[in-house]
Chain A
């Protein structure tokens, strides 16, 4: 009985993926997309990967991370340096760059993991912010990354022409994180969020799972960074500042912390919306800020309780919560 239910869900998910891919690929390769929309395809995928991976630490582990852009920059620079220095065919060098970028970023995740063992809450948020800034100023100071000038002329292995590959990577990321969250490890991570003292008391190695969540999130952020570098072709340390980290956080908060489906939808909306509303670009940051504040106040207000008590809306939110 239970198996059948899971299978149904799986088939439904695969159907959704195939339909989404068919529509987007049809539009892209059929030449129906304008240049503006074509250039948005890969950034949407990148933001989905970033949001889903940040959701692992912020949503499921319950620790605010303000240095996600730092991991992304480590991956981006590692990947770019590899493809620029290896003169192998695309099929060989790009996967190497992806894996190396991800691994390098997760190495930094381990380094961040050390203070993570002792801290949580506000302090941990500040430490991740500090790590992001340290990474930025190290990249600025090193000669291999070309300092403040940044890298340019990176081969465009991940632009819209390679959309299929980027799409597959995005789907793989979502599946990996979704499966992890639904596994034994994922439940342990969620139990740490709900009450870490109780989790420790029932014998869950809290430190191990915290570091694991950080490392996995960093790995995928690194992969997103590699794709970013090979989509844009240039890298600058200032791209990966604190604001970038906040941008990802806004996606996660808007989509709902602890909801992978929400993160995906919010990532798509928040990447496309600012481009469609080009004229109102100055108001984008203002909108982000208001979204953050309003979501938080709404979440802990009585208004939400009342809406949830209403049956029709309750059904609607219940469907959302299952994600």
Chain B
């Protein structure tokens, strides 16, 4: 196999993991845009989505499509419940309190799944049984093709939703100015719940794709992709939807190429190094807007 094919394969791998990061990053960035908080528990919703898929297929013996819908529904409801129970009482609290609560929720989800499912990894076969294809010596696995198609569809639908529907405009209005949006008759609480619902549904899809890739379930499965997706969101400019997509793909490419050509152990350090670098040079990210802080 030539060097060119090798590089191409790594690029495709990077696109695959990058598009999963992008899906997760969208959840972070939408919630940040509207509720002005980092939802630390977002990564663990991915884990819940993956476990829900396992429950649906292995324990309830649902057909694949029903299991996927079940997983998405579980995460959507969970996301809304978390927002109502843990974050809503803290709407006017200082950011530090909200951040610590979010970390608490993340820990809660992890330890609950540890109690229910145990610490030993559970194998879960991929739901994609579709064979890969080979184009000019470059082989692309089935899961890669499915991941790329699913994430592209999700992003197109989301962009359409945000820009063309009434609820989408409400979301944009709330993210721009919560007070003014409320005066215009927008139900802010409902909009925030909707944002959490959409973000969690995307996280469920990301969780399903992730578990099809790695085929094993652990309670801490969501932590790393969650943090990396956050890096992607910051890289693209937090609060910006196209930024999250771009950031996710770029991060996936960097990670895949550094794993292949620099060092497997150092790839995490490189990814986080990029985060630090971006925050130092351009804290607003690639496509983000600069917000001036007022007294």
A: which residues have CB within 8 A of B?
A: 58, 62, 64, 66, 114-115, 118-119, 121-123, 125-127, 129-131, 133-134, 137-138, 140-141, 147, 197-198, 242, 246, 249, 253, 257, 282-283, 285-286, 288-293, 296-297, 299-301
Contacts and interface: CB of A to CB of B under 8 A. Distances in A.
5 contacts: A119-B283, A122-B95, A299-B93, A299-B97, A300-B97
Given A133-B272, A296-B93, A140 B265 contact: yes
- Secondary structure dominating the interface of B: helix
Contact of B108 (A122, A286, A300): A286
A133 B295 contact: no
A300 B92 contact: yes
B280 A126 contact: no
B108 A290 contact: yes
Interface in B26-62: 37-38
A123 B223 contact: no
A292 B279 contact: no
Contacts of A114: 280
Contacts of B108: 286, 289-290, 293
B283 A296 contact: no
A292 B115 CA distance: 19
Contacts, number: 127
Contacts of B98: 296
Contacts of B269: 133-134, 137-138, 141
Interface residues of B, number: 44
A285 B272 contact: no
Nearest to A132: B272
Contacts of A62: 96
B110 interface: yes
Given A141-B265, A253-B100, A285-B111, 13 more contacts: A115-B280, A122-B38, A130-B272, A130-B275, A134-B273, A246-B103, A249-B103, A286-B108, A293-B86, A293-B104, A296-B97, A296-B104, A297-B101
B99 A297 contact: no
Contacts of A299: 93, 97
B103 to A, nearest CB: 6
Contacts of A123: 234, 279, 283
A196 to B, nearest CB: 10
B154 interface: no
B89 to A, nearest CB: 5
A118 B97 contact: no
Contacts of B279: 115, 118-119, 123, 127
Contacts of B293: 197
A140 B264 CA distance: 11
B99 to A, nearest CB: 6
B115 to A, nearest CB: 6
Contacts of A125: 38, 99
A137 B266 contact: yes
Given A64-B100, A300-B97, A122 B37 contact: yes
A62 B92 CA distance: 17
B227 to A, nearest CB: 7
A64 B94 CA distance: 12
A62 B97 CA distance: 10
B6 interface: no
Which of B105, B111, B227 is most buried by chain A, counting CB atoms within 10 A of its CB?
B111
B7 interface: no
B276 A127 contact: yes
Contacts of A290: 104, 108
Which of B38, B100, B265, B280 is most buried by chain A, counting CB atoms within 10 A of its CB?
B100
Nearest to A282: B115
Interface in B211-229: 223, 227
Nearest to B106: A289
Contacts of B95: 121-122
- Top 9 nearest A-B pairs (CB, nearest first) are A292-B104, A289-B108, A289-B107, A130-B272, A285-B111, A300-B93, A141-B265, A293-B104, A286-B111
A113 to B, nearest CB: 12
A130 B96 CA distance: 18
Contacts of A130: 227, 231, 272, 275-276
Which of A249, A286, A291 is most buried by chain B, counting CB atoms within 10 A of its CB?
A286
Contacts of B37: 122
B230 interface: yes
B268 interface: yes
B8 interface: no
